[in-house]
Structure 1
Amino acid sequence: MRKVVLYHIVSLDGVAYEESDWFDDGGDEMIANLSQIIETQDDILLGRGTYDYWVGYWPTSDFQPFADFINTTRKHVFTSSKPDQEWANTTLVSAPVTDYVADLKEQSGGDIGIHGSISLAQSLLRAGLVDELRLVVAAAVAGQGRRVFEGDALQKLQLLDVQRSLKGTLFLTYRCPTTP
């Protein structure tokens, strides 16, 4: 069975990165960490908001390794309407999220990634469909903003790996419980 891997950049107080000024450690360690994560992924799950934001940037970006990855990888976008812009390798999904992802996990292939898409990530976490968390924890307290882990029931995670950058950013890998 395939793994669903949630990747997020968060502040120490749990605020998810969404064009904020508190994250300033995108150095070589960050790129190496991201490369390690995306090399195992064949499919990406995106919410409509993230899709609309990313489709205006990534198709013409040269920021590697993510630009080549996101432009060539199969994207599954959860939406109830057709987006204004098309993006190669995109499948629009109107089926229930949990059913669709549970079925996708049963198919052959590599890992299934979630990058951004906070509401989608929260739904899949609550449903017990996320197998692994790959968190980049910035050495900053953001104070305000959206959080991936908000209002959820207690979940005990298993720490698999810890690394850190020279500037103090943590790269954490956790195994999630796979039942709600």
Structure 2
Amino acid sequence: MSRKVVAAYFLSLDGVAEGADKFLTSWDDETDAVGGRLISTQDTVIFGRRTYDEFAGFWPTSDIQPFADFVNAVPKYVATSTPLATQWGTAQAIEGELTDFVRDLKEQPGGDIGIHGSISVTQALLAAGLVDELSLVIVPTVVGTGRRLLDNLPQISLEPISSSTTPSGHLLVDYRVNHSG
């Protein structure tokens, strides 16, 4: 059985994934617990270059748990065409095509492969049929502008796995990507 690729995002109600720190203005224990459960099954992370650079400048000295310990310890692979300027743990640039790399990575032993905050990586892997699940925290805010996670993709069928609403009004939704059509 191959490993799952799970893309996790905070989205505004209108689908904006960019700059979640600007529209995610409330937090609660249930939202926190979902993140902890999500990363408990992951042992590898894939980033785009921009997200890697942002995270590498913040997470190595962060005490925001449990994500700081998780993201600092796991192997990190970065979709980039240039060498990494900042070294962060075992991070390494992906050699070759992203989709080929992920296809091969899914066949290696291990836990789930996480994508956290890399919109272009998620879009490319969704379009290639390589994302297995979407784990979304939908924030009850309309942002209006910004990059949307699901823009410019082919039709993709999703099956709901679970959904709930937190005290802060966040909609927690997990979807399985239906690869059969």
TM-score under structure 2 normalisation?
0.95
- 1:126 maps to what in 2? 127
Counterpart amino acid of residue 72 in structure 1: A
Q: Percent identity?
A: 45
SS of alignment partner, residue 23 of structure 2: coil
Question: Counterpart of 1:36?
Answer: 37
Aligned residue pairs: how many? Answer: 180
SS in 2 for 1:137: strand
Q: Partners of 2:95 and 2:79 in 1: how far apart?
A: 6
Q: CA deviation at 1:153?
A: 1.8
Check if 1:59 corresponds to 2:57: no
Shift of 1:20: 4.5
Q: CA deviation at 1:154?
A: 1.6
> Would you say 1:14 and 2:23 are equivalent positions?
no
Trace 1:73-84 onto structure 2 (pairs within 5 A).
Answer: 73-84=74-85
Q: Which residue of 2 aligns with 1:166?
A: 167
1:91 Cα deviation from its structure 2 partner:
1.8
CA distance in structure 2 between the aligned counterparts of 1:23 and 1:17, rounded to whole angstroms: 11
Q: Indicate conservation of the 8 Å contact 2:10/2:20, yes or no.
A: no
Equivalent residues of 1:23, 1:138 under 8 A apart: yes
Q: Is the 8 A contact 2:28 2:168 kept in 1?
A: no
Q: Amino acid of the residue matched to residue 141 of structure 1?
A: V
Structure 2 Cα separation of the partners of residues 131 and 162 of structure 1: 17
Aligned letter for 1:108? P
Q: CA deviation at 1:19?
A: 4.7
Alignment-mate amino acid for residue 16 of structure 1? A
Q: What is the SS of the residue equivalent to 2:54?
A: helix
Structure 2: gaps of 5 or more residues: none
Deviation of residue 177 (structure 1)?
2.1
Deviation digits for residues 78-122 of structure 1 (CA, Å, limit 9, x no counterpart): 111112211002121131001000000000100000001100110
In the alignment, the residues of structure 2 paired with residue 75 and residue 169 of structure 1 have an alpha-carbon distance, to the nearest angstrom, of 28
Aligned to 1:100: 101
Report deviation, 1:128: 0.4
Stretch moving more, 135-144 or 147-156: 147-156
* CA distance 1:51–1:59, shift in 2 (3 Å): same
Matched-pair contact (CA < 8 Å) for 1:156–1:177: yes
Unaligned runs of 5+ in 1: none
Q: Which residue of 2 aligns with 1:176?
A: 177
In structure 2, do the counterparts of structure 1 residues 17 and 169 end up closer, same or farther at CA, with 3 Å as the change threshold? farther
* 8 A Cα contact 1:17 1:23, kept in partner: no
Contact 2:3 2:106 (C-alpha < 8 Å) held by counterparts: yes
**Partner of 1:176: helix, strand, or coil?**
strand
Q: Kindly tell me: are residues 165 and 59 of structure 1, through their superposed partners in 2, closer, same or farther at Cα, counting changes over 3 Å?
A: same
